[in-house]
Amino acid sequence: MVVPMPTKTLLATAAIFALLWLPHAQAALPAEVDGQPLPSLAPILDEVMPAVVNVHTRTRVQVRSSPFFDDPFFRHFFDLPSVPRERVQQSLGSGVVVDAGLGYVLTNNHVIDGADDIAVTLADGREYAAELVGADRDTDLAVIRIEADDLSALPLFDPESLRVGDFVVAVGNPFGLGQTVTSGIVSALGRSGLRGLEYQNFIQTDASINPGNSGGALIDLRGRLIGINTAIFTPSGGNVGIGFAIPASTAAYVMDQLVRHGEVRRGSLGVQTQDLDASLREALNADAAAGAVITRLEPESPAARAGLRAGDVIVRIDGRDVRGSQGLRAVEGLLAVDSEVEVEYLRGGRERTTRARIEEDLDTRISGRRLDLRLDGLMLARIPDRSRVRGVLIEDVRRNSPAWETGLRPGDVIVALDQRPLAGLRQMRAQFPRGERQPIVLEIRRRGAGYRVTLD
């Protein structure tokens, strides 16, 4: 596709090529042509690039060379060492220093997930060990911290005025080559549909984003940090001009939660929804381009107390458009617990407004650290009602966390607590011992087998 250039730019470009073809032309380009300075991003990048860092990690993974290696008789007979063999995995990514005083670096969760060691290399070559402040798998964001002097920071800028067609620049560390700058435009806003992420509201750009760019900066032409580069769409493994960045507004909220709590505590309206399609639009007489149709409300949920009911179509929350069920999840993910929001919805062809106080739904999902620090790194979730299994699902376990060290793994189901059967997450919260740090026995079901895990 050929993009027309302004007349002055065409004249300047023609003059440059003319100079290049002159027999005695100098190698360096002139500072200006026809009285106009040559356009360049260099002055902006001089300010931005010191804040963009390289993030590299090391992860030790136990490996088996043979199934016989786990047999104690086999090891003794052949005098094999009992220490398990390890393989070290290394990965590279990018990050952005967003607070120079406290040394906070924002990056992607998948860059540091499960790492035993995290290190940061600054643009000037200095290298520092980093500690994990907190990570959020649902948005693929993480905050790490370094102790260093003379850091350059790039504060997050809320891109409310960002439009499709605006020029943007991506800065990162693709393929471990070192700091690299690419440019493009905003291709779309509010993108969703990527696998593995619960909350999605991406900026799509055609600025080249490649492996290693993850966690780097997406800036506007004023040098403001408007997004954190996170993913690409690629059938071949290389860049095809479809990249995604997490908006700075989302990153700012998640970072604040991670710094305060070490996790993101999210509020909820307490509703289940589906997209407003053509058939539902006609059946519900809903004159809206998009929205989320309420299919079920949790009893005593914020939505129920606000007067909402099944069949209502939520179209906006606090002025933010709701683009379907996934769009509602994206908006909910930025709603602070205990905040009051305005909900605009359609009922019977009429637009209505109500106010709802956002609450944290601890009976649906809760981090293990909220129950006991020995379960830090664990995410517990309610098992769907249609399932035949009763208990509490271990949805996620962060590698090398206290919960991981006890032997708990994603997919495990806690079916009993101190020999008392568990019907669900609400019961587990109510029965979990508080106060004194006493041994607790968890009965686990894993792929049909039963195990016991003791928290000492």
Write down the domain spans for the chain: 7-39, 41-264, 271-357, 365-455
CA dist 62 to 83, 85, 88, Å? 10, 6, 9
In angstroms, the CA 270 to CA 298 distance is 5
In angstroms, the CA 357 to CA 373 distance is 29
Is residue 8 scored above 50 in pLDDT? no
| Domains 41-264 and 271-357 are alike in CATH topology | no
- For 271-357, CATH gives 2.30.42.10
Is residue 2 scored above 70 in pLDDT? no
In angstroms, the CA 179 to CA 123 distance is 8
Q: Tell the residue number behind the tokens 């508080």, with chain if given.
A: 434
Is residue 34 scored above 80 in pLDDT? no
pLDDT of residue 236: 59
Is residue 5 scored above 80 in pLDDT? no
Is residue 241 scored above 80 in pLDDT? no
What are the CB-based long-range contacts (under 8 Å, 24+) for 337-340? 337/265, 337/266, 337/267, 338/267, 339/267
pLDDT of residue 100: 93
Catalytic residues, by residue number, are 110, 140, 214
Is residue 243 scored above 70 in pLDDT? yes
pLDDT of residue 26: 44
pTM here? 0.77
Span 112-143, pLDDT tens digits = 988 889 999 999 899 999 999 999 988 899 99
CATH class of 365-455: mainly beta
- Between 96 and 89, where is the model more confident? 96
Average pLDDT, the chain: 82
CATH class of 41-264: mainly beta
Band of residue 149 on the pLDDT scale cut at 50, 70, 90:
very high
Is residue 390 scored above 90 in pLDDT? no
Is residue 239 scored above 80 in pLDDT? no
Span 286-301, pLDDT tens digits = 888 889 999 998 888 8
- Between 28 and 384, where is the model more confident? 384
In angstroms, the CA 171 to CA 183 distance is 9
The answer to whether the beta carbons of residues 210 and 239 sit under 8 Å apart is: yes
pLDDT of residue 340: 92
**Residue 314 parent element (H or E):** strand 313-317
Is residue 237 scored above 50 in pLDDT? yes
In angstroms, the CA 394 to CA 365 distance is 10
- Between 259 and 89, where is the model more confident? 259
